[in-house]
Amino acid sequence: MALSVTTEDYLKIIHELTEYNGYASLAEISPILGTSRQSAYDEIGILVERNFVEKVDRGKYRLTLSGQREANKFLRKHRVAEILLWKGLGLKWSLLDDQAMGIEHGMTEEIIEKVCLKFGCQSCPHGNPIPSQDGEVELDQELNFEQLSLNEEYHVKRVIFETPPTLAFLEENRLFPDAVVKKIGEEEIEFEGQNVKIPKDILRSLTFASN
């Protein structure tokens, strides 16, 4: 059964916040989706009833296994929509997550296959893998910033929480997936011979892999 647009949006944001924070809170979900706290609460109640979402604490939620599978099916559409807007239309890298909202719900499997044939579908422009049609996804080994050794080379793997300010900062500093970086301090990296200070919340949005 096809899920409603609203359900798809909720599953995506709960997935992203959980990857970023370990859970998704009502207080964060409603401003991001531009809904009232009450309607977010009601919608999440429906998702809990459908066994897509479970409560972890007061006001804190995460996806169940079947919710994750449904989220992945939608993330396939979302991430391929980003590829289309980027490689097909040349939209700015930092605006892709936001701009994809207009078209992602309408991405049929036929469109997805054509985009993948033409542009390749390894990952979204921000490094996130494209799930299969039935919601399977493979994650490579990755490290968060805290796990990196000082003065060793790594490359940026993906942006786990794609927000407009995070993407704008990364674009301005050309810190795209595959950028080769060295950690030189708690909030500082060396990149292309320059020392770059990165705010903590943005560092938490990134994963890395050994070079």
Residues contributing to the site for Fe ion (CB under 5 A): 82, 97, 124, 126, 162
Phi, psi at 45, each rounded to 5°: -60, -40
Which of 156, 183 has the CB closer to Fe ion? 156
Residues in a beta bridge with 39: none
Residues in a beta bridge with 63: 53
Write down the least CB distance from residue 198 to Fe ion, Å: 19
Spatial separation of the C-alpha atoms in residues 126 and 43, rounded to whole Å: 28
Spatial separation of the C-alpha atoms in residues 196 and 193, rounded to whole Å: 10
DSSP 156: E
Which of 43, 82 has the CB closer to Fe ion? 82
Instruction: Name the pairing type of β-strands 153-159 and 53-57.
Output: unpaired
Write down the least CB distance from residue 55 to Fe ion, Å: 26
Write down the least CB distance from residue 135 to Fe ion, Å: 17
Tokens coding 198 = 């990165």
Write down the least CB distance from residue 20 to Fe ion, Å: 13
Q: Which residue do the tokens 């030189």 mark?
A: 184
Write down the least CB distance from residue 83 to Fe ion, Å: 9
As to burial, measured by CB atoms within 10 angstroms (0-12 exposed, 13-18 middle, 19+ buried), residue 173 is middle
